[in-house]
Copies of this chain bind each other. A is one copy, B any other.
């Protein structure tokens, strides 16, 4: 059994890690920390958990956590995450960080949209946790920078096509739509029920912090700088991200080669499903699962590719991929504990 702690266990991402860990056959949850709710029973914070997770939330103390854990998940706001990682690093435990703090190879990129980086010396020990793409790096890393929800929904579709040069990388436009849980459990007017319900809007148009993350890994794949247009929107539902991605095809890019490229890239990867022509992704098809569904259509008259991807922002876009990474890091079969059956309704 793997001993696991979750630091910041009472936000939505942390709680989703807890949920999935409970379902994981090889895991023993040892510590759950919470600043806001320390001292309270976890099931008083989340009454759905009565009789299931009756652990008491505690304050974060690095030596106690390190002693009791083989794997430590950080589900904290950025900045606090790297401080926490720093305090844990010396204990040589594996850390999976869901914030943005370890997603960038270069601290400067991080600092261009977030804060000053407080632990640049740890970056060489960390790797980007896009599970299907960076499996080998993940299996050897001590720290995982777990990908953002939007980047996951975008990169899984684009990286294979960019590597094969099937699309003109300067023409990429990404129109993403996210359920409200992406904004977390912290109270705010835009996520107040009556403000979000029965409405639809764009936000942070072409200035969302996930843009550099998307660009970093697309540029890597292209071996040249790529700039994308990215517009996120808020959907009145709890879970799910659908990204509609537009790009002009190169001469090699045709429906057949697109499909072959994607099928081949994800051949042995259970969690990425390439949709047949007759099916388009829908966030409800992947709700509460670790799947990323990818569909596409070629608009022949304009030589334009339209890619559509769907994930559950809390699972493949956060906690599920984090556990997938834990599985990879510990040598367990990648799908363990996160291969539950999708919902029909």
A residues neighboring B (CB under 8 Å): 12, 15-16, 18-20, 22-23, 44, 46-53, 173, 175, 177, 179-181, 185, 187-189, 191-203, 205-206, 227, 229, 231, 233, 235-240, 242, 244, 246, 270, 273, 275, 278-289, 293, 297, 299, 301-302, 304, 306, 308, 310, 314, 340-345
Q: A205-B306, A242-B200 are in contact. Are A342 and B237 (CB under 8 A)?
A: no
Q: How many copies does the complex hold?
A: 4
For A18, A187, A344, which residue has the most chain B Cβ atoms within 10 angstroms?
A344
Q: A48-B286, A193-B192 are in contact. Are A340 and B340 (CB under 8 A)?
A: yes
Is the Cβ of A229 less than 8 Å from the Cβ of B302? yes
Task: Specify the chain B residue showing the minimal Cβ separation from A298.
Answer: B206
Is the Cβ of B301 less than 8 Å from the Cβ of A50? no
Q: A52-B342, A192-B192, A197-B237 are in contact. Are A229 and B177 (CB under 8 A)?
A: no
Is the Cβ of A344 less than 8 Å from the Cβ of B282? no
Nearest CB of chain B from residue A265's CB, rounded to whole Å: 16
Q: A192-B193, A202-B280 are in contact. Are A345 and B227 (CB under 8 A)?
A: no
Nearest CB of chain B from residue A209's CB, rounded to whole Å: 15
Residues of B contacting A195 with CB < 8 Å? 193, 284, 345
Distance A19 CA – B345 CA, assembled complex (angstroms): 10
Is the Cβ of B282 less than 8 Å from the Cβ of A47? yes
Contacts A/B (CB < 8 Å), 14 sampled? A22-B341, A23-B341, A47-B275, A48-B343, A48-B344, A51-B270, A52-B342, A185-B189, A197-B197, A199-B285, A201-B242, A205-B280, A229-B299, A235-B235
Is the Cβ of B229 less than 8 Å from the Cβ of A50? no
Taking A199-B240, A199-B284 as known contacts, 4 extra A-B pairs with beta carbons closer than 8 A to each other, sorted by chain A number, are A195-B345, A200-B282, A200-B283, A288-B343
Is the Cβ of B189 less than 8 Å from the Cβ of A187? yes
Residues of B contacting A273 with CB < 8 Å? 50-51
**Contact check: which of B194, B199, B206, B344 meets A49 at CB < 8 Å?**
B344
**Contact check: which of B177, B285, B341 meets A19 at CB < 8 Å?**
B341
Is the Cβ of A345 less than 8 Å from the Cβ of B233? no
Q: A19-B343, A202-B242, A345-B238 are in contact. Are A12 and B194 (CB under 8 A)?
A: yes
Residues of B contacting A293 with CB < 8 Å? 50
**Contact check: which of B22, B198, B314 meets A198 at CB < 8 Å?**
B198
Residues of B contacting A49 with CB < 8 Å? 341-342, 344
**Contact check: which of B22, B51, B233, B280 meets A242 at CB < 8 Å?**
B233
Q: A185-B194, A193-B196 are in contact. Are A227 and B343 (CB under 8 A)?
A: no
Residues of B contacting A345 with CB < 8 Å? 12, 15-16, 181, 185, 194-195, 238-239, 314
Residues of B contacting A181 with CB < 8 Å? 194, 345
Is the Cβ of B193 less than 8 Å from the Cβ of A280? no
Distance A179 CA – B61 CA, assembled complex (angstroms): 43
**Contact check: which of B51, B202, B270 meets A244 at CB < 8 Å?**
B202
Is the Cβ of B235 less than 8 Å from the Cβ of A236? yes
Q: A48-B342, A280-B203 are in contact. Are A192 and B191 (CB under 8 A)?
A: yes
Nearest CB of chain B from residue A312's CB, rounded to whole Å: 11
Distance A19 CA – B341 CA, assembled complex (angstroms): 6
Nearest CB of chain B from residue A285's CB, rounded to whole Å: 4
